[in-house]
Structure 1
Amino acid sequence: MRRRLIAAFLALGSALPLAAQDTSPGERLPVVRHVLPNGMTFLFLRRAGAPTVSFVTQFRAGGVDEWTGISGTAHLFEHMLFKGTPTLGTRDHAAEQRMFPRIDAVADSLTQEFRKGEAADTAVMRRLRERLRQLEDSARGFVVSNELDRVLTRNGAVNLNASTFNDGTNYFFSLPANRAELWFALEGDRIKNPVLREFYSERDVVMEERRLRVETQPFGLLREEFLQAAFRAHPYGRPVVGLASEIQAVSRNSAIEYFRRYYGPNNSVVAIVGDIDVDQMRRWADQYFGSIPSGEPHRPVVTQEPAQRGERRIEVEYDANPLLMIGYHVPEAMHPDSRALSMLASILTGGRTSRLVARLVVQQRAAQQIAAGLQPGSRYPRLFTFTGVPVAPHTTQEIETAVYEELERIQREPPTDFEMTRVRNQIEASGVRRLDGSIGLAFQFASSEALYNDWKTSFRFDREVLAVTPADVQRVARTYFSRNNRTVATLVRPAAAATRGGIN
Structure 2
Amino acid sequence: MKRLIICFFALLAAWTGAQAQHPSANAINAKPQQFTLANGMTLIVQVDRRAPTAVHMLWVRAGSMDEVDGKSGVAHVLEHMMFKGTQSATGSTAPGEFSRRVAALGGRENAFTASDYTGYFQQIPASRLEDVIKLEADRFAHNRWPDGEFAKEIEVVKEERRMRTEDEPRALLYETLEATAFVASPYRRPIVGWMNDLDNLRPDDVRAFHRDWYVPANAVVVVAGDVKVPQVRRWAEQYYGQLPTRALPERKPRVEPPQAGVKRVEVKAPAEQAYVALAWKVPGLHNITNPSAEDWDAMALTVLAAVLDGYDGARLQRALVQGQGANAKRVADSAGAGNGLTGRGPQLFVLDGSPAAGRTPAELETALREQVARIAREGVSEAELNRVKTQWMAGEVYQRDSLFYRARKLGANAMLNLPLDADDRLLAHLRTITSQQVQSVATRYFGEDTLTVGVLHPMPPDPQRRSRPMGGMGGRDF
> TM-score band (shorter)?
0.7 to 0.9
Matched, 1:155 2:115: no
Which of residues 164, 173, 176 is equivalent to 1:225? Answer: 176
Partner SS state of residue 200, structure 2: coil
Matched, 1:264 2:224: no
Partner SS state of residue 286, structure 1: helix
Mapped to 2, the partners of 1:311 and 1:438 lie a distance apart of 43
Mapped to 2, the partners of 1:376 and 1:246 lie a distance apart of 30
Number of the residue aligned with 2:292: none
Shift of 1:376: 9.5
Matched, 1:326 2:348: no
Mapped to 1, the partners of 2:206 and 2:419 lie a distance apart of 29
Mapped to 2, the partners of 1:439 and 1:323 lie a distance apart of 34
C-alpha contact (below 8 Å) 2:122/2:132 kept by paired residues? no
Compared CA separation, residues 258 and 57, structure 1 to 2 (3 A):
same
Which of residues 412, 425, 448 is equivalent to 2:390? Answer: 425
Mapped to 2, the partners of 1:270 and 1:476 lie a distance apart of 37
Shift of 1:433: 1.5
Mapped to 2, the partners of 1:41 and 1:425 lie a distance apart of 34
Of Structure 1 and Structure 2, the greater helix share is in 1
Equivalent residue letter for 1:314: V
Compared CA separation, residues 212 and 299, structure 1 to 2 (3 A):
farther
Shift of 1:300: 4.1
Number of the residue aligned with 1:255: 206
Shift of 1:448: 0.5
C-alpha contact (below 8 Å) 1:322/1:390 kept by paired residues? yes
Number of the residue aligned with 1:5: 27
C-alpha contact (below 8 Å) 1:328/1:487 kept by paired residues? yes
Number of the residue aligned with 2:116: 167
Shift of 1:312: 0.9
Matched, 1:196 2:145: yes
Number of the residue aligned with 1:43: 44
Describe the superposition over 1:13-61 as per-residue Cα deviations: whole angstroms up to 9, x where unpaired. xxxxxxxxxxxxxxxx511112102111111111112111011221101
Shift of 1:200: 1.9
Moved more, 392-401 or 319-328: 392-401
Equivalent residue letter for 1:492: H
Which of residues 308, 314, 338 is equivalent to 1:348? Answer: 308
4+ residue runs over 6 A deviation: none
Mapped to 2, the partners of 1:220 and 1:72 lie a distance apart of 16
C-alpha contact (below 8 Å) 2:106/2:125 kept by paired residues? yes
Compared CA separation, residues 297 and 434, structure 1 to 2 (3 A):
farther
CA RMSD after TM alignment: 2.3
Shift of 1:453: 4.2
C-alpha contact (below 8 Å) 1:323/1:492 kept by paired residues? yes
Which of residues 317, 320, 343 is equivalent to 1:357? Answer: 317
Mapped to 2, the partners of 1:346 and 1:212 lie a distance apart of 31
The structure with the larger Rg is 1
Equivalent residue letter for 2:320: L
Q: Which runs of 5+ in 2 are unaligned?
A: 1-22, 287-294, 324-328, 463-478
Shift of 1:336: 2.9
Mapped to 1, the partners of 2:330 and 2:58 lie a distance apart of 43
Q: Which runs of 5+ in 1 are unaligned?
A: 9-28, 94-142, 498-504
Mapped to 1, the partners of 2:129 and 2:317 lie a distance apart of 45
Shift of 1:326: 0.5
Q: What is the TM-score when the length of structure 2 is the normalising length?
A: 0.84
Mapped to 2, the partners of 1:261 and 1:387 lie a distance apart of 38
C-alpha contact (below 8 Å) 1:167/1:377 kept by paired residues? no
Compared CA separation, residues 310 and 432, structure 1 to 2 (3 A):
same
Compared CA separation, residues 412 and 357, structure 1 to 2 (3 A):
same
Compared CA separation, residues 401 and 339, structure 1 to 2 (3 A):
same
Number of the residue aligned with 1:20: none
Mapped to 2, the partners of 1:276 and 1:232 lie a distance apart of 46
Percent of aligned pairs with the same amino acid: 35
Mapped to 1, the partners of 2:342 and 2:212 lie a distance apart of 21
Equivalent residue letter for 2:87: P
Count of residues in Structure 1 that have an aligned counterpart in Structure 2: 424
Written as runs of structure 1 = structure 2, the 5 A alignment for 1:94-493 is 144-158=94-108, 160-197=109-146, 198-297=149-248, 299-300=250-251, 302-320=253-271, 321-334=273-286, 335-363=295-323, 366-375=331-340, 378-493=343-458
Shift of 1:353: 2.5
Q: What is the TM-score when the length of structure 1 is the normalising length?
A: 0.80
Moved more, 356-365 or 332-341: 356-365
Shift of 1:431: 2.4
